[in-house]
Amino acid sequence: MESNRLTTQEFWENTRAQNYFKRQDAGHGIDEFIKKYVPVTDQASVIEIGSYPGPHLATFGDLGYELNGVDFCKDNAVGLPGWLKNEGFKVGQFEACDFFEYKQDRLFDVVCSFGFIEHFNNYEEIIIKHALLVKPQGYLVITTPNFRGLVQYLLHKYFDENNLALHNVKSMCPDKWSELLSDMGYEIKYAGYFGGFWFWRGEEQLSYLKRKILWLLERVIPRLRKLLWFESSFFSAYCGIVAVKK
């Protein structure tokens, strides 16, 4: 199993030590995606796979869901549910464990993950494990970055190579997710790209030349976002799928 992982628990613990609990900025692409496709309710549950530190769970909380999560970060079982309770949300069960060791007889109305499956080579197995946790007529929502798109790939290859290596670019293909879930009896509500043109990167140290080019690029992107108002596999920031279990 370890050979299928592109990251380690130590990597995430070191990265997430810098995080704190907060909502995403208003209008964040993934939160808008959630609100567009997931119904409002006060009688349903959601579980996020890879839930820590939980900014998107707050969006489900706004929609009325009981919130649940699994993540191998230790504070997922204490700090995260504590923050969500303080925000006034209904909180269910939060576990700090490896998803592959997660045992749960309960099914959920919504199962979701945001930027999780692409850190594994066996991403199809992980999608199936997601899907098995969904109630009949429930929703499966998965998103990843779109590093596979030509424009996005070239930008990350040039300015973000170390971070790119932590992602399975082949996994970023909503058409493949759609085929897999259709074979499992899911109805596909949406499978494609969203978020418009955007670029973010890790903390890699860049040469002087690359820093200057990046400085110019960051000033051009807002204008390009207005020109590239449509979505495309070449440049959109995210891949996503919404599927309903028949």
Q: What stretches of the chain adopt beta strand conformation (E)?
A: 45-49, 66-71, 91-96, 108-114, 134-145, 186-197, 236-245
Q: Which among 181, 197, 182 is positioned nearest to 238, based on CA atoms? A: 197
CA distance 128 to 145: 19
CA distance 2 to 7: 9
27 burial (CB, 10 Å; 0-12 / 13-18 / 19+) is exposed
* Domains detected in the chain: 2-245 (3.40.50.150)
Q: Digits of tens for pLDDT over the chain (246 positions)?
A: 556 888 877 777 777 655 678 898 889 999 999 999 999 999 999 999 999 999 999 999 999 999 999 999 889 999 999 999 999 999 999 999 999 999 888 999 999 999 999 999 999 999 999 999 999 999 999 999 999 999 999 999 999 999 999 999 999 999 999 999 999 999 999 999 999 998 888 888 999 999 999 999 889 888 888 888 889 999 999 999 999 999
